[in-house]
Amino acid sequence: MVQIKDIVNQLHLDVYSGDDFLNRTVSSSEISRPGLELTGYFNYYPYDRIQLLGMKEITFIEKMTVAEKTIIFKKLCNDDTPCFVVARGLSVPEELVKAANRQEIPIIQSTISTSRLSGMISNFLESQLAERVSIHGVLVEVYGLGVLIQGSSGIGKSETGLELIKKGHRLIADDRVDIYRQDERTVIGESPKILEHLMEIRGVGIIDVMNLFGASAVRNHAHISLVVNLQDWSVDNTFDRLGSGTESIDLAHVPVPKISIPVSTGRNVAAIIEVAAMNFRAKTMGYDATKKFENNLAELIAENSENGKEFDK
């Protein structure tokens, strides 16, 4: 459930009437534009959705008689109707205000265009109503990319995150990360409210990153672009040395690229993660250092082959 007051506050909308009714809730991210309902057809009226009125609806309403408006708005104002939203700064019909006040339904107004406003509200509701899954790890924003650091307990995830924060990057969540799917290709990570801006450093305890490093050192959420798995270095483990591997991990039913980094004494893991983030961004922009190396190697082999033939002659 999402309260109407949260929508108003987050999207900076104006309350036209019903300030005392903003605690009403909505459980659907879909938006209804009551077109057929204004003609009197209520067989499939989605009463539990936010009702959005734009230019088409308002101009149609203006041609109705007062009696017709009274009847239609009485039917539109269902006990479970979350709220009405009037877009483009259009005037709100007086009959709608009376009917909404009787049912204690708030009316929201905005100067934003109808289509854009519908998208904004729908996207916000989808993010708030999406199913959350908690996973173990540290989520930081490195050069604008959401990097999820995972690994076994005690391997140094929080310490690595702290070092990245000291380098100017930002913390989203430590120890526990709540994730949800925004769409088929995007997974968002955020911190649980109880752990927001906090980190646990063994030997030190709980620290408040925002209090110690400032507001620029934290973020509320981030799109997870890369997963870094920290592993203890061992001769038995094999690691990708050329970067030609295409590993991925499933997060909230979204495949996310994953790399494994060996951890051993003397390795600056934070610096390696910085380089991994920059290299990942370069790949997304079309530049692949591994392919360049392979091309250079192929050219060298071809050149040596030509030199060998000339020597034989």
- What does the pLDDT look like over 270-296, one tens digit per residue? 999 999 999 889 888 887 777 777 788
Q: Give the C-alpha separation, 18 to 104, whole Å.
A: 7
- Of the listed ranges 156-170, 232-246, 252-266, the least confidently predicted one is 232-246
Q: Which of 175, 176, 181, 223 is catalytic?
A: 175
The dihedrals phi and psi of 108, each to the nearest 5 degrees, come to -105, 145
Whether pLDDT at 173 is above 90: yes
Q: Which of 63, 193, 202, 241 is catalytic?
A: 241
Give 209-222 pLDDT, tens digit per residue: 999 999 999 999 99
237 falls in which pLDDT band (50, 70, 90)?
Answer: low
Is 264 annotated to bind ligand?
no
Is 157 annotated to bind ligand?
yes
CB 293 within 8 A of CB 283: no
182 vs 102, which has greater pLDDT? 102
Active site residue 175: yes
Share of the chain above pLDDT 90, in %: 74
Look up residue 72 and give its amino acid.
I
Active site residue 241: yes
Is 131 annotated to bind ligand?
no
Q: What average pLDDT score do residues 62-91 get?
A: 95
Q: What average pLDDT score do residues 37-64 get?
A: 95
Is 158 annotated to bind ligand?
yes
235 falls in which pLDDT band (50, 70, 90)?
Answer: low
Mean pLDDT of the chain: 90
Is 203 annotated to bind ligand?
no
Is 156 annotated to bind ligand?
yes
233 vs 143, which has greater pLDDT? 143
Q: What pLDDT shows up at residue 242? A: 60
Alpha helices (H) in the chain, listed in sequence order: 4-11, 55-62, 66-76, 94-102, 114-129, 157-166, 209-213, 269-284, 289-312
Q: What pLDDT shows up at residue 238? A: 66
Q: Give the C-alpha separation, 95 to 71, whole Å.
A: 9
- Of the listed ranges 62-71, 284-293, 304-313, the least confidently predicted one is 304-313
Q: Which residues contact 189 (CB under 8 A, 6 or more apart)?
A: 139, 146, 148, 172, 173, 177, 178, 179, 221, 222, 223, 224
Q: What average pLDDT score do residues 71-79 get?
A: 95
Place of tokens 């009437």: 17
Is 214 annotated to bind ligand?
no
Is 247 annotated to bind ligand?
no
Is 144 annotated to bind ligand?
no
Give the global pTM: 0.75
Chain centre to alpha carbon of residue 147 = 14
42 falls in which pLDDT band (50, 70, 90)?
Answer: very high
Give 238-248 pLDDT, tens digit per residue: 666 666 667 89
Q: Give the C-alpha separation, 286 to 288, whole Å.
A: 6
Q: What pLDDT shows up at residue 121? A: 96
Q: Which of 24, 157, 197, 219 is catalytic?
A: 157
233 falls in which pLDDT band (50, 70, 90)?
Answer: confident
Q: What average pLDDT score do residues 145-154 get?
A: 93
Q: Which of 132, 136, 267, 292 is catalytic?
A: 136
Q: What average pLDDT score do residues 166-191 get?
A: 93
Q: Which residues pair with 232 in a beta bridge?
A: 263
Look up residue 150 and give its amino acid.
Q
Among 275, 274, 243, residue whose Cα is nearest residue 260 = 243
Whether pLDDT at 144 is above 70: yes
Q: What pLDDT shows up at residue 309? A: 58
